[in-house]
Structure 1
């Protein structure tokens, strides 16, 4: 019997990492090695966990030479856009240097390198975008992710880039909020909430992003894939759909535009992805935003029980 392929995941304690590990373990077709900074915060069994500081090149080299993975899914990154603007050295270390160390280790192992990227590599002047759109980041986070992409495209092993947009979902310990949870709790508390209607995204359920990455791994696909939700929406529209789903007061949702919010880092106004390539080549079929809210609603109940 052929031994299972080894898949190594960075950022396993994060939202995407949790979903990746859970789905891969459930499939049972891979040997799953999860890694993160510090101790394992993942529930369940069926995987190995390695504590690893991916910004330490020597540590990465030693660990991955021992593991010798067939596939690396590199999801770890510094993603808080304003923090990236404030702490550019830390952002560069996490998003560029760490990627360089992992690419080098992937080349040594001849592993299939799958890199998670973002719609924030684009200017936001037009959307939705396909895989051939020209990147032009408007913030430091976007610049570092684009530099990571360029490094991956130049690597001497099989590679794929999974670009995504506005990932939302529920961590097993309910430790993170997201637009759906925030809108739900604010409206339940009777708070008025301002939401912009001039930013456009294709919000992505974390489970769908994980499934897309796994499809890339299973099909040994290479190149760039847009892996996002199918609905092109503004945050104002997302809030209204959320309110409708939970039967909450939509009148508390107030239209705003981006100029009324002061954020340290500039955000692209219009992105969102066309996912035709992922649908046709990978068989990727993400949930609609409304269906995704239904999944979260069930998860909230389970998390509280």
Structure 2
């Protein structure tokens, strides 16, 4: 596909109703040499409806998925669709397996057969959180079903031999035009603005990822036809409690409403990694990825919220 690097890219984006999916849609339509087909299992929820096609589709219908790919003939697929709730994956393993592993295997095999570049979104939850931050070469050892499903998907992609960039990421936050999409930053901001008391875990550590950075990383992977595993996050490690304190301070909200709790107290001692975080050297060197600091991203989020 090297000959496609400087020509039009035809992108199929799955999970376009999701948080990252909506951000990617808005970013890709700004590219004049890209065409975009979005798909999700429900009707389009992105308030921005211009500059791309949308087809409602259940990815579990493998025949319809294969037909869609055959008809659209994409040069690149960005696969963001997944069941990401830890609890949902635990309670519905078969459903989790079908979407998070089996569908990925089907996509990877089609990509191999048709020489399509695949960008796949994975997670820090492939690690157990005992030795973070992690390089891409660290052995995986998930402590929950969701993480296990992502490991299974990664392995299916690698086995297929297709050209694929596997982007692992952490605690994605930010703003999209669809106000129904929330995340840690907006949840904390809204609760504190409403003077609600919130409990926040104090003994889990993450390198949170601004959704704008993650969307740009996906495009970098496409532009370079990158192959391999890449870690995409910020390069700042925070306790989740400290992230929420940053939110309170940035918007001058009441810190006293924030109640620190332990992972054990909220039932997350065993099914969430304690400390993840990534070594970003590979993504910075090979993709040209440059993470945004939490402080700077909060300033940008302010600007984005004013436009909604």
TM-score by length of 2: 0.93
Asked if 1:196 corresponds to 2:201, the answer is yes
Residues 197-223 of structure 1: per-residue CA shift (max 9 Å, x gap): 210111111111110010010011111
> What residue in structure 1 maps to residue 241 of structure 2?
236
- Secondary structure at the aligned position of 1:258 is classed as coil
> What residue in structure 1 maps to residue 15 of structure 2?
11
- Secondary structure at the aligned position of 2:200 is classed as strand
- Superposition map of 1:119-158 within 5 A: 119-158=124-163
- Superposition map of 1:184-223 within 5 A: 184-223=189-228
Contact 1:85 1:264 (8 Å CA) reproduced: no
Q: 1:34 aligns with which of 35, 38, 41?
A: 38
> What residue in structure 2 maps to residue 262 of structure 1?
267
Contact 1:196 1:255 (8 Å CA) reproduced: yes
CA distance in 2, matches of 1:287, 1:240: 18
Contact 1:56 1:98 (8 Å CA) reproduced: no
Contact 2:7 2:33 (8 Å CA) reproduced: no
Stretches of 4+ moved more than 6 A in 1? none
- Secondary structure at the aligned position of 2:59 is classed as coil
> What residue in structure 1 maps to residue 24 of structure 2?
20
Contact 1:69 1:109 (8 Å CA) reproduced: no
Asked if 1:82 corresponds to 2:72, the answer is no
- Secondary structure at the aligned position of 2:160 is classed as coil
Q: How big is the shift at 1:265?
A: 7.5
1:182–1:3 Cα change, 3 Å: closer
TM-score by length of 1: 0.94
CA distance in 2, matches of 1:185, 1:217: 35
Contact 1:81 1:265 (8 Å CA) reproduced: no
- Secondary structure at the aligned position of 2:157 is classed as helix
Residues 181-203 of structure 1: per-residue CA shift (max 9 Å, x gap): 22222222333322222101111
Which runs of no fewer than 5 residues in structure 1 stay unpaired?
A: none
Residues 227-265 of structure 1: per-residue CA shift (max 9 Å, x gap): 112211111110111111111122332322111112597
Contact 1:169 1:205 (8 Å CA) reproduced: yes
Q: How big is the shift at 1:69?
A: 1.1
Q: How big is the shift at 1:29?
A: 2.3
User: Which shows bigger deviation, 89-98 or 247-256?
Assistant: 247-256
- Secondary structure at the aligned position of 1:214 is classed as helix
